[in-house]
Structure 1
Amino acid sequence: MKSTALFALTAAALLAGCNKSGSATSGQLRVAVIPKGTTHIFWKSVEAGAKKAADELNVKMTFVGPQKEDDRSQQIDLVKNQALQNDAIVLAPLDAVALRDVVKEVSAKKPVVIFDSSLADSDGFIASYVATDNRQGGRIAAKALAESIGGKGKVAVLRYAQGSASTEQREEGFLDEIKKFPDIQVASAEQYAGVTASQAQDTATNLITRLAEGGGLSVQGIFTSNQTSTYGMLQALRGKNLAGKVKFVGFDCDATFIDALKKGEMQGSVLQDPLNMGYLGVKTAVAKLKGEKVEAVVDTGATLITPANLEDAKISALIKTQIP
């Protein structure tokens, strides 16, 4: 009887000491953060935020992403492999549709938090969505660009890449908001920059060549929806001696964008908070592992930077999280 009771007590203790993923709570929880890529400073800031949360919570955090930001197959393989080694996954999907099946499969066994870019039809199985309100970011950019061109004229949009939900939402938000200005016409919104800086610059150069008129452009304003497309457009405008001759609002942060804002070559850029995104992504995943209630959507914020507010303390602090 004593041995049977002792066995039952031991078994109960072991069961109580395990979480849903099967890891003993006496051990260290493991969380894998899988971004779209690892080279851009944006992702390095996400990593820093994720590490901060992991250190605070005494969690082992693995940060690993595909080599190229259009390699869907590699990201799918990473999700599968990291799910075998970790208690939860925090993922920025490269493609809103292509990553859906693998995430649904993994989420049946352990929590998956989606960050930065949404996943199609995933409300029923992901733990949470931690990201910028991308549509609102696009609306912020549209208002800024409309104001900079005096509420009238023509504008062009250089998109990022097909299938990237976050940038598609920014572009949709921009186009929806710009419709509220009856004297502004969208002259071009069908071009995709591509996932590398060189591709973006080539596409931007082709676009502004097509929009050339006299010594300038047939449009008064340009919007780009992420770091790559913004960088490519800036370099293309500089290469054609058009920087500062057209109003330009971009998205994300880069040292060249700050320089361009100071020189009047850009009128604004909408900044996300990647440090906070990584931090809240890991915190949300760990909370879910511990059985705590988590919000379905966690907004990490979007802020417009302009030549006028670059020296503000809060803006400076935000910029420093994204520029080494």
Structure 2
Amino acid sequence: MQTGVEAAAKDLGVEVVTQIPQTWGVEAQTPILDAMVARGDLDYIVTAPTDKDQMIGPLKAAVDAGIKVITVDTFLGDGDYVNGPVTFPISYIGSDNVEGGRISARGLAKAIGGKGIVYINSTNPNVSSVEGREQGFKEVMEKEFPDIKVLGPDYNLDDQNKATQQTAAVLEREPDLAGVFGTNVFSAQGAGTAVVNAGLGGHVQVVAYDATQLAIELMNNGVVSLVLAQKPFDMVTWLCSSPRPMLPASRACRVVSRPGSPSSTRITSKTRRLPASSIRFRPNSGRLACRERRSRD
């Protein structure tokens, strides 16, 4: 995501400063946001909200200070910035996470022969991206694969080591576990590590959301059956290169990312939603902050 916005900014003569909190959560994200608002010279903030409810207040304060807000990867409220409870962001750009969860469910079901016990390891409750993935996964398993029992989710709080421990505990108490769905990079890598450590690589299948190098290596080794790749680069370049760019040229911008954020590939429109494999645009979303660059007379 950072690479994408910097590339687009270079093309448009936009100055970008990126801030990445060391940990995940409202407590880490809010002080950074407050500090940006306090500057008094920013025009835009593009961010991935770490909580769809708790980040409403801090981001609304930015809007009240005259800063436009765009959310990427995750959204506020229910994500409907036209008719939903939260309407102040300009746009949301991200993956169709519900559809991604459905794809993950079908891939894992195929890998385990359509029956058995599977487990979901996720990151944090009340985060729109992983919530959508869990929703889509459970929906397909319930409707299309009645012989598959779904356990979880457990939340690792974006801690890969905790994901490994949680998955190892499930493997211990569920000797017939057939598969694991890791809803993001930390979940998938932690789950894959636990499976390998237990000597069950190739026996307990793992579906990984986010195409990290380790996830690809685990797939090549037969531990991971399916890897879902997102397009974080596209998500932010869309801001400046779409037919109606949200960020005008000759502005200075600040981007604040969340740690480990792989981003998504959906741009949802306020009026329509496109398939998961396409880019969607929904007016209003993100955490990128910009200030106008004024020429000297």
Q: TM class by shorter-chain length?
A: 0.7 to 0.9
Normalised by the length of structure 1, the TM-score is: 0.71
2:213 maps to which residue? 255
Deviation at 1:181, TM superposition (A): 2.1
* Counterpart for residue 94 of structure 1: 50
CA contact (8 A) 2:240 2:247 kept: no
CA contact (8 A) 2:49 2:74 kept: yes
Which residue in the other structure is 2:256 paired with? Answer: none
Aligned to 2:258: none
**Identity of aligned pairs, percent?**
26
**Distance of 1:69 and 1:298 partners within structure 2:** 29
Residue equivalent to 1:80: 34
- 1:173 is aligned, of 136, 144, 165, to 136
Q: C-alpha displacement at 1:164, in angstroms? A: 1.9
Q: 1:208: how far off?
A: 1.5
1:153 corresponds to: 116
**Partner amino acid, structure 1, of 2:103:** I
Residue among 22, 25, 35 paired with 1:67: 22
1: distance between equivalents of 2:240 and 2:34?
A: 18
Q: Take 2:269 and 2:31, find their aligned partners in 1: how far apart are those partners? A: 28
- Shift in Å, 1:302: 4.8
Relative to structure 1, is the Cα distance of residues 168 and 79 closer, same or farther in structure 2, using a 3 angstrom cutoff? same
**SS class of match (1:275):** helix
**AA paired with 2:61?**
E
Question: Aligned residue for 1:50?
Answer: 5
CA contact (8 A) 2:99 2:276 kept: no
2:99 alignment partner in structure 1:
136
Q: Is the 8 A contact 1:273 1:301 kept in 2?
A: no
Q: CA deviation at 1:182?
A: 3.8
SS of equivalent to 1:119: coil
Q: Does 1:204 align with 2:167?
A: yes
Conserved 8 A contact 1:49-1:276: yes
Which letter maps to 1:68?
T
Could you tell me which residue of structure 2 aligns to residue 239 of structure 1?
197
Structure 1 window deviating more from structure 2 (202-211 vs 87-96): it is 202-211
SS at structure 1 position matched to 2:144 = coil
1:22 equivalent in structure 2:
none
Instruction: After superposition, give the CA deviation of every residue in 1:264-296 in whole Å (9 maximum; x if it has no partner).
Output: 111101111111123224557x934559xx944
Report the Cα distance in structure 1 between the residues aligned to 2:247 and 2:222, rounded to whole angstroms.
Answer: 48
Letter in 2 for 1:90: V
- CA 1:302/1:226 → structure 2, altered by over 3 Å: closer, same or farther? farther
TM-score when scaled to structure 2?
0.77
SS at match of 1:199: helix
Q: Distance in 1 between matches of 2:17 and 2:33?
A: 12
Residue of 75, 100, 109 corresponding to 1:118:
75
Higher helix share: 1
- Deviations 1:210-236 (CA, angstroms, capped at 9, x unpaired): 212xxxxx1222211000000100111
SS of residue matched to 1:276: helix
Q: 1:259 to 1:288 in 2, by over 3 A?
A: closer
The count of corresponding residues between Structure 1 and Structure 2 is 249
Structure 1 residue 105: Cα displacement: 2.0
Of structures 1 and 2, the one scoring higher in RCO (CA 8 A, sep 6+) is 2
**Mapped contact 2:208–2:227 kept (Cα < 8 A):** yes
Shift of 1:190: 3.3
Task: Identify if the C-alpha distance between structure 1 residues 68 and 202 changes in structure 2 by more than 3 Å, giving closer, same or farther.
Answer: same
Between the aligned partners of 1:283 and 1:68, the Cα distance in structure 2 is 31
Q: 1:223 to 1:192 in 2, by over 3 A?
A: same
Compute the displacement of 1:255 (Å).
1.6
Which residues of structure 1 form unaligned runs of 5+?
1-45, 213-217, 304-324
Structure 2: which 5+ residue stretches go unaligned?
A: 82-86, 250-267, 279-297
Letter of the 1:91 partner, please give it.
Answer: T
Label 1:189 to 1:183 Cα distance change in 2 as closer, same or farther (>3 A).
same
Query: Radius of gyration: which is bigger?
Result: 1
Residue by residue over 1:90-124, the C-alpha shift from the partner in whole angstroms, topping out at 9 and shown as x without a partner, is 01011111111111221231211000011115621
Match of 2:183 in 1: 225
1:134-157 Cα deviation digits (max 9, x unpaired): 111111111111122222222211
**Partner amino acid for 2:31?**
D
